[in-house]
Amino acid sequence: MADTGAPLWGGRFDAALHPAIHEFTGSLHFDRRMVRHDLIACLAHARMLRERRILSENEASAILVGLSEILREIENGTLAVVGDEEDVHSWIERTLAERIGDDAKRLHTGRSRNDQAIIALRLYVRERLEDILSGVAGLQRVLLETAAEHRETFLPGYTHLQRGQPVSLAHHLLAHVAALSQDVERLQSAHAAAGTSPLGAGALAGSSFPLDPERSTALLGLDATFTNSMHAVADRDYVLDAAYACAVLMVHVSRWADEVVLWATKEFGFIRLDDSISQGSSLMPQKKNPEAAELLRGKSARTIGNVTGLLALLKGLPLTYNSDFQEDKEPLFDSLDTADWSAAAAIAIARGLHYRTDVMAAALEGGMLTATELADHLVRQGVPFRTAHEQSGLAVRAAEDEGVELWELSMDSLRAVCPSVAEGVLDELRPAQAVASHDSPGGPAPVRVAEQQAAAESHLTALESWLEGRSPAPIYAAHAEDGLLDDTIPAGEPG
């Protein structure tokens, strides 16, 4: 039986590692969440070694059986990743050696811990991005369902946090859906970037064994194989891409959450928070606080900081591998976790919002929100826009002096400052008519909102189909043929 306490690199050294250094350099406490992904990659590597006859049938079979048993126990929760190993890769080799003996040592043939760690991380990143994308799809679904109910619910649109022009609530919510659609593209791009297999790159210079990296790639269901072994080991762009995509997603969620906080105030009053998403004060009994939405704002800062930290970590590293890379995982894991949990929280918040349409309608008054429509009307009568803008401003002043809305001015008062206005202009200045008139592409007119909803629905349906189409790596099916694994085992949560 192999020495289960030895590190993967111990032959060169006479003295044992100092306990403080062992604890300082160890990563098992955080990289053990990649154990399943590492085991899947090990299975692919071992099968490739068997197919290339680098390992004998007996050696490879022993390894494949042992790895399959460990993976099955990890996936059903009967085996925990605990021990004093420096990392999850050492834990796997020790556990395998305890079960099959010295044949476990042959698994590392043609492989370095460098490409081993990278493939595990890439597989993990792809799985977690799929989790996040599922959450984004859920949030989009809630917003789309709500928008469908409010195509003709009108409220002020804002610039500079000042009332600007009337829009529909559906149009407003679809703006957030559009931002999330861009997040989907970024997250899927990051998923694709993580889909290059480094297996076969070794420590930095490939291998003298007749490896088949393309076969390993195919077994893992990845999109591409590395083209340069040094770059494969040194590349962490996919880490940056994933962290950045999470950060931008969190910025968008934060902006939506900030609106929830604002709209729930008495000053706005556009929404009422369901008790299920509200929290109270330990001192003030009347308080009903949107704390979850506030936390969404706060958590966005973590993901922004993680991107900055990762960029700083990578900026000065020489080719190829450096132990600094160990520090990429905790900020990345934090960003992935934060985005995943935040999407779930955002869905709950979105479902717990009750829109006060009466308050929104009341907010359309007093702000002269259709002054732009008056200017546009004058332009259609032949007045140059700058002149029309000035005359519309004079009409606003007249309405304020009389204490009425623009559409409530008498025609005599209106023509005194806007001599070119035509009959029927006052109806054009009512908020509902103003919204309906803004039927340029992407605008708030109900017909355009319907187009936006259809486009967003199509985009979401494509995402949902993409997520449903994700399946366990082909390695499962390959080993199922050997009776080693059940190819119906779904990818579970990381350990």
167 φ, ψ (degrees, to nearest 5): -140, 175
Q: Which CATH number fits domain 122-146+157-193+224-357: 3.30.360.10, 2.160.20.60, 1.20.200.10, 3.40.190.10?
A: 1.20.200.10
User: What letter represents residue 135's amino acid?
Assistant: G
> At a CB cut-off of 8 Å and minimum separation 6, what does 200 contact?
110, 115, 206, 207, 211, 212, 213, 216, 225, 226, 229
pLDDT in tens, the chain (495 residues): 344 445 655 566 777 888 888 888 889 999 999 999 999 999 999 999 999 999 999 999 999 999 999 999 999 999 999 999 999 999 999 999 999 999 999 999 999 999 999 999 999 999 999 999 999 999 999 999 999 999 999 999 999 999 999 999 999 999 999 999 999 999 999 999 999 999 999 999 999 999 999 999 999 999 999 999 999 999 999 999 999 999 999 999 999 999 999 999 999 999 999 999 988 778 887 888 999 999 999 999 999 999 999 999 999 999 999 999 999 999 999 999 999 999 999 999 999 999 999 999 999 998 999 999 999 999 999 999 999 999 999 999 999 999 999 999 999 999 999 999 999 999 999 999 999 999 999 999 999 999 999 999 999 999 999 999 988 888 888 877 777 765 544 443 332
Residues spanned by CATH 1.20.200.10 within the chain?
A: 122-146+157-193+224-357
Chain centroid to CA 295: how far? Answer: 17
Superfamily of domain 371-429: Fumarase/aspartase (C-terminal domain) (1.10.40.30)
The yes-or-no answer on residue 420 being catalytic is no
Phi-psi region of 85 (alpha: psi -120 to 50; beta: other; left: phi over 0): beta
Indicate which residue of 29, 56, 281, 410 is catalytic.
Answer: 281
Residues across the chain: 495
370 prior amide bond cis, ω within 30: no
Indicate which residue of 18, 160, 208, 282 is catalytic.
Answer: 160
Note the pLDDT of residue 477.
81
The yes-or-no answer on residue 281 being catalytic is yes
CATH code for the structural domain at 10-111: 1.10.275.10
In degrees, rounded to 5, the angle at the alpha carbon of residue 440 between the alpha carbons of residues 436 and 441 is: 120
Note the pLDDT of residue 494.
33
b/e map of 210-235 (b: 16 or more CB within 10 Å)? Answer: ebbbebbbbbbbbeebbeebbbbbbb
CA separation for the pair 278, 291 (Å, rounded): 7
Residues spanned by CATH 1.10.275.10 within the chain?
A: 10-111
Residues spanned by CATH 1.10.40.30 within the chain?
A: 371-429
